[in-house]
Structure 1
Amino acid sequence: MLKHIYEPAAYAAQSLDGCYWVSTAPQAPDYAPLAGEARVEFAVIGGGFTGLSAALRLAEAGVDVAVLDMHAPGWGASGRNGGFCCMGGSKASGATLLRRYGADELARHRAAEVSSIETVADIAARYGIELDRHSEGEVQLAHRPAAFEEMRAEAATLARELGCETRLIGPTELAAEGLAAQGMHGALHVRLGFGLNPRKYVLGLAEAVTRLGGRIHAHSTVEQITRSGEDYVLRTSGGTLRARHILLATNGYSSDNLPDWMRARYLPVQSSVIVTRPLSDDEIAAQGWSSDLMAYDSRKLLHYFRLMPNRQMLFGMRGGVRWTPADHAAIRREIRRDFDTMFPAWRAVEAPWFWSGLANLARDLVPFVGQIGDWPRAFASFAYHGNGVAMGTWCGAQMADLALGRETALPDFYRTPPKRFELGPARRLALIMAYHYYKVMDGK
């Protein structure tokens, strides 16, 4: 039995219920489950951005690859996130990365952030994936005056390190920019990244994999991995797959015993989203938020939001710690309160869509792409800290290059095995204390 750290409902097919993105894209193809015994050169576990990007890179190289997924491609975080293709991946700040790893490694990380966004755009262009793309970069709004002063100090540094334009927007300029949100004290616009429909993107990735000859098996939870000579043997409820190489890409939906090396090296965190009905021109004018920029605020427990091309507003937040109906009801009330506080003119606007998913943290707050312990020809990639659209795609491709024996563009610290979290299987309890502390820090 897999050792997950959330309630079983978090991993059930029904956890996708209420997700807006499902209504925006065609039904996913009916990928057949693994049945009987089979063999493949490269087995990828997990059909999200990371796993499918890895499989695509392998299929492009002309090797035999198969993807196994618990439910179906895009069922997990990759098909239910906020659709922010943006810089990120590390929760540690640039200053922290500089102190820990030095200037060269920080520069390689910044290059990875830029390359990850370009990778998504390139894949979409090459394989004709319609992304519903919008937003020229992203904007961070200061929820306190002190936060805007920090942005003022950071703007030039980010421009230099990322090689992109940054622009400060003063408190009195927000309304003129179509960024009128209650309680904000300025903003920093970074012209890097874009918004997209994550379900259309992930299904497009899956289609590209199969177009190049890769296999995808849905409803094929890998329950056990064992060694047999030079092969890895992956067992599901319906069959057995022998593989020379394995690539683990389960991120926030990982388990502590697949393989045992994963134990306590990752921490899933719940993120929840609401989406409104389409807003009228009058409603948009009444609030003063007409910008299509991806946006987030400066809180520790941040909100992320964007007005989509069809004029529906997406609004997400962190904060859940248990996957139960009662907890989800409480999160839905809290997210609605925060939405109404930030956008008071939209208090009466219905938000019929609500859902949650699992992002993922590492103890050192940086991504990992590297070898699984002392297992030869076995690799894992995870921990994008809520920014997996771009970084998960890029890391998946880099993981495939590792498996192919190619040179990679990975910073060295990405390849350092993550430390294990304290409290082991009870590590989720630490989130409760952290979230209470962050709410105090955020003034909630």
Structure 2
Amino acid sequence: MNICVVGTGYVGLVTGSVFSDLGNEVICVDNNAEKIAMLERGEMPIYEPGLEEMVKRNREDHRLFFTTDLTYAVERSDVVFICVGTPPTETGDPDMRAIQEVARGIARALNRYKVIVNKSTVPVGTGDMVREIIETNRVRNVDFDVVSNPEFLREGSAIKDTLEPDRIVIGAPNHVVAMKILELYAPLERPMIITDVASAEMIKYASNAFLATKISFANTIANICDQVGADVAQVVKGMGLDSRIGPAFLNPGLGYGGSCFPKDTAALVRTAEKVGVDFKILRAVMDVNAEQPIRFLDRLRAALDGSFDGKTIGILGLAFKPNTDDMRDAKSVEIIARLLAENAEVKAYDPIAMDNARRIFPQICYGKNAYDVAQDADALVIVTEWNEFKLLDMERIKSSMRRPILFDGRNIYDPIRMRRLGFEYQCVGRTRATIPNHRH
């Protein structure tokens, strides 16, 4: 099948690459000429494991192409995927201008029947809006259909999530159109749900909001555990073994970030408000998430005798999660900004995201590795749970620090071992973790 993918961000580039790998001819379009030039040179604008190899393979096999010419790409395609960004506005509503601009461009390029598939995360009613824009702006009286096909990929495992999704959601105006999109996904042999467009749009927001709720719930449980002497690792393990709950997204820490959960929770709250529903639970979820890094910094400040002024703080991990270079809504950004505002000296290291971090914080010191950052630090803070941080020589880390204060925002270390090594160690919900007494 001939496919056009509009947008070469995480969703668009991974979607286009995977569909070309399945044997389709795919043209990826972006209005950013510099990004298209990079892709044509074989350079990736984002870091995603396995993506560079997949793009290279399909470029060489002449199944994957890149262009800035939307008209050219649409005219040659049977299916057009819209994969552009919908960043949050100040009100929490998603910014729909890119979607609207693409819809107008598709309208002008329509030369025969096509299926327009919205893969961007959008509020309920967007399918109707896209249809109206295309109907109003089309030059030729050509028929088309608009489908919702939300993505559920996670940065860092996006290719695997696209090839092996838990489910494929197709929201279509009729069964015939749904079958055309189902045919595209058939080689994956994954569970599919066919529904109306509005329900498909809602499934995406509802799913992300529920996962965000699990995270904030686990963080609140962790905060209680800190006060009562319970070990949150054992608590969530006990919860997660209940098949009705499951273990995923119950890991406490600094809260959720990235390009999806923060904006999707805010957008769903706004959608609810517009139809007269007060989404109290989700507003509380957002409040807990906003408070979590502040609580963590309050504890760190107290450990440093009540002030960050003149202290050197080492930050390990800058991306919002491991295996990506994405800094959008990363907890590191908020933490570093607050430390700088209180006159701390900040040193940081991340295996992948330092180039992106430098654009935000050119004034801080970036280390060559974790040991470089730990050198002469008054405290070390784990912000992103990269695997390489789990395997550090902690005795070397301790000996190089000015004071062995270790604040683990992702609970990657064993509290008992860290304290035995001589660290002033604090984490999230395991502050008083001890070895249970076993009676035989």
Instruction: Tell me the TM-score normalized by structure 2.
Output: 0.27
Of Structure 1 and Structure 2, the greater helix share is in 2
Higher relative contact order structure (alpha carbons within 8 Å, sequence separation ≥ 6) = 1
For the pair shown, the structure with the greater C-alpha radius of gyration is: 2
Instruction: Tell me the TM-score normalized by structure 1.
Output: 0.26
Of Structure 1 and Structure 2, the greater strand share is in 1
